[in-house]
Amino acid sequence: AQSVTQLDSHVSVSEGTPVLLRCNYSSSYSPSLFWYVQHPNKGLQLLLKYTSAATLVKGINGFEAEFKKSETSFHLTKPSAHMSDAAEYFCVVRLPYGGATNKLIFGTGTLLAVQP
């Protein structure tokens, strides 16, 4: 079965300091992995995706994530946090296409707070 585990439900950083949001995945197949962000009263927005190309994936707003098969991890990072980064972040794995579906499996989310 495919699943993702987000290791922290809440993370608080100071503006200008690095961000690290941790995610571990479980998959019987070579996974497709995503990070989505959810700002209050807005829809989920795709930050970045990994689909078996480069293991270091760059996304929008300065975020990036590294796929590490040996550690089954896909942690999200940003060198310097901005106040506008405060939001909820979801790590997501996608079921393989063999089942003719595009079903996304979401983690439970990490709420990022950015202190001035």
Residues at the site binding other proteins, with contacts judged by CB under 8 A: 36, 41-46, 49, 90, 92, 97, 99-109
- Which residue pairs, CB below 8 angstroms and at least 24 apart, start in 93-99? 93/2, 93/3, 93/4, 93/25, 93/27, 93/31, 93/32, 93/33, 93/34, 94/31, 94/32, 94/33, 94/34, 95/2, 96/29, 96/32
Query: Closer CB to other proteins, residue 78 or residue 94?
Result: 94
CB of 116 to other proteins, least distance (A): 26
Query: Closer CB to other proteins, residue 60 or residue 80?
Result: 60
Query: Closer CB to other proteins, residue 87 or residue 92?
Result: 92
Query: Closer CB to other proteins, residue 56 or residue 100?
Result: 100
CB of 80 to other proteins, least distance (A): 27
CB of 41 to other proteins, least distance (A): 7
27 vs 10, 24, 49, 80, 93, CA distance in Å? 25, 10, 16, 31, 8
